[in-house]
Amino acid sequence: MTGKTLNLFGIILVACVICLCGVVSAATSVSVLPSVETVAPGEEFTLDVYIKPDTLVAGVQFDLNYDCSLVSIGSIEEGDFLSSTDSPVMFNPGNIDNDEGVTTEIYGTLIMGDGTSDEGTFCTIKLKASEETGTCQIRIENIILGDNQGDEIDAVTYDALISISEEEISDRDNDNEEGTELNIIDREDDNVDSPVGEGTVQTAEEKTTLQSIQDTAESTETQQTSAPEAESSTSNISILTVAAITFLALAYVLDRKRK
C-alpha cells in the first residue's frame, strides 16, 4: 500500500474508534427515599419517590410492592416533579391494596408541554408500621417512563429498606449514613423531615437480615446493569471489526488501481 492510502485508512479508523467509544449508556433513575429507614412499631412515616432524569420526561407510571404484614400505605400524594413545569398534570395515586401488599397504576402525565429534565419528588407515600418487628422492602415494579411523543425512556429503579424495631440506639442516623450502601443516590433537596422517632435500634438478628437483603439487592442490581454493558461492548467491538475489514479492503483496491 502507498503511504497516502495508509494515512487515509488510519484517519478513518481512528474516527470510528472515537465515535464508538463516545457512546455512553444512560438512564433515568427512580428511587424510593430514604433508601434505608428505621421506625418504631405502629409509627407513621413517609417516603418519597424521587426521579433524576437524563432526558425530558413527560409521563411516569409504576406499581409498589411491599410486605403487608409489616407496613401499610395510607395515601399517596403528588409531588412537584411534573407540576413544577407549570403545565396541567393528570395524577393518579394508584389503587392501594394493603391486604395483598401492592399499589397499582400510580401515574402522572403532562397534558401539554415537552416534559421536564429537572429532578424532583414525583410523589410522597404515607405509611404506617405494624406492631410486629422486622425488615421489608418497598419495591418499584412495572416502571414506565415516557416522553411527550409517547416513546418509552430507559429507567433504573432503587428500592427502600424499612426496619421496624422496638429497641433504641443513639447513633442510628450515623448507621444509616455510614453503614449502608444500598440504593443511595445524591439529591439536591436534603431538607426532608424524617418522621422516625429518635433512639431506635436494630437487634443483631435484624442487622444480619438487613445486610443479607442489601447484599442480595446489590448483587441483583449488578447483574442487571452489567448485562447491557457487556452486550453494548460486544456490539461495539463487532462494528469496529467490520469497519476495519471494510476499510482495509477499500485501501487494497485503491492501491491495486494505482499500480
- Beta strands 89-92 and 59-65 are unpaired
Cα–Cα distance for residue pair 34/126, rounded to 1 Å: 13
| Residue 180 identity | T
| CATH code for the domain defined by 28-204 | 2.60.40.680
Residue ranges covered by each domain of the chain: 28-204
Q: Count other C-beta atoms under 10 Å from residue 103's C-beta.
A: 22
Structure pTM? 0.59
- Here the cell at position 157 is 429503579
- In a 10 Å sphere around its CB, with 0-12 CB exposed, 13-18 middle and 19+ buried, how is residue 164 labelled? buried
Per-residue tens of pLDDT for the chain, all 259 residues: 555 544 555 555 444 444 444 444 578 999 999 999 999 999 999 999 999 999 999 999 999 999 999 999 999 999 999 999 999 999 999 999 999 999 999 999 999 989 999 999 999 999 999 999 999 999 999 999 999 998 999 999 999 999 999 874 444 555 555 544 444 444 444 444 434 333 334 444 444 444 544 554 444 444 444 444 444 444 555 566 666 677 666 766 666 666 5
